[in-house]
Structure 1
Amino acid sequence: MISLPNRVTIIEVGPRDGLQNEKNNVPTEQKLAFIHALQDAGIKEMELTSFVSPKWVPQMADAAEIVKLTKKVGRQFVLTPNQRGMDAAKESGAKSVAVFVGVSNSFNKKNINKTTDEAMGQLEQPIKELIREGYFVRACISTAFYCPYEGKQRVEDVLALCQRFIDYGVHELSVADTIGKASPKESHELFYLLKQAFPNVLLTAHFHDTEKMALANIFAALQAGVDRFDSSAGGLGGCPFAPGATGNVATERVVHMLHRMGIETGIDEEKLNDAYQHVATYVSK
């Protein structure tokens, strides 16, 4: 007998994780149309944008405007890599913040020029301050399965990093197969251990579809008790610091699979399919 949840929450990451690496500038009004179409389809949780230096991620230069003009529906995350980003997020009126650190030291050095331990040390006080001030904080755990530079990551290291974030007080862990190399067996094993270790924290799985196993990995995570998944409309996204990583698993495919299994999402598939068209002409696929 397969044990599956009756309902799953989809966290749409297309507007941030999906668009951040696109070379073509997507006009703010098109981003907003995309976001609002996703909301209209039933998406209640979404990564809106990222407060990073426009020098490094020019696509996110309109972050404050996006937060200000987006309809306030459900939980809306903004990515903040450091204190400066957190301050900007607060000024914009954002209420939910996401931070990220990779399990892999090499990945972090390439990405943020810090080791994992250094990155966590610098995030401790800012995260605790956000918690005290009433913000919702999501911790994104990159390279939880494989690193493009170091290969397979140790499960013990993933658990230790998650524990450290929980000690800081975060509300949610989003655990990512950043380069899309995990197998369903590895997915089930890791998420089973995470559910056992951290039963009272929101746990979200984030899969990339590099080896076309993302749906299988989601099914394995469902069996391990996970009922929250990141996905990106149209399969948008990738990672500039993870060679070979392709897009996130497509929200349309995830929702269709869940519905075929009788699992509720609250999402209208027809409206979801239409939402991607608002940015399709700007995407270099």
Structure 2
Amino acid sequence: MRALVAIAQHGSIRAAAKTVCLSQPALTKAIREFEQELGVPLVTRSARGAQLTQYGHAVYARAKLIPAEMQHAKDDVVLLSVQEGFLTAALARLGDGSLDFVIAIVDEKKLAPEFMFRSLLEGELIISARKGHPLANAQSIADLEGADWMLNTTPESIGQSLQDFFVQHGATAPRVVVECSSFSASFSLSVNSNLLSCCPKSFLETDWIRERIVSVPVREALPRVSVGIISRRDALNTSACDYLIDCFVEAVASAPVFQFDTVRADVL
């Protein structure tokens, strides 16, 4: 299975063999024995390298999770890795087992069935613009027609929720000209261009953001958003992982006056 995963990820017998620390003949033999056991071809070789057959792809979908679960067994001695990223990449890594869980702002109704969501906090969504933006004082979403936007428009994202909101209220959906998966890059683009965007109101509680970004005061009440924990339904978490999740839940539950609007951007 390790050999099959390596071939799928590298598209080459040579590179796959190097990854799993086997000779090329040994890796090829392992694949052939695996094919004999299953009774179907898993890998084909051509001038372009090595590719999985339709059977190989079916096996790979499950096999790629096994190394991650084996690593989890080792990590039961407790290793904590905290990483920042946007939802698209985070869900992909959650799906392949390289992340245990994700804390994110998400539209729960649009999550794929393989994921489960545990809400922690809710808060207000705002339309954001740089200070001095020509539309910084717009009073309605109708006034924003024709503007250029920077949004993440994956199905689960708050950007997609905003687009849906505009259409539901009879306005033209935001015209997205930039999609960005880096917070630092998106912040720089917002500050140095006329791109509109959206974010939780809580972001403006951070001084270095509030000094450069303003909330566009449209009269329409924008959708509220949730921040919570996303995990795989079939995940076998380590005890350390479950303990950390419980810590997050307990921290929120023990502070009933704590509102999402006070959460700092670097925590999200």
TM-score, structure 2 as length reference: 0.24
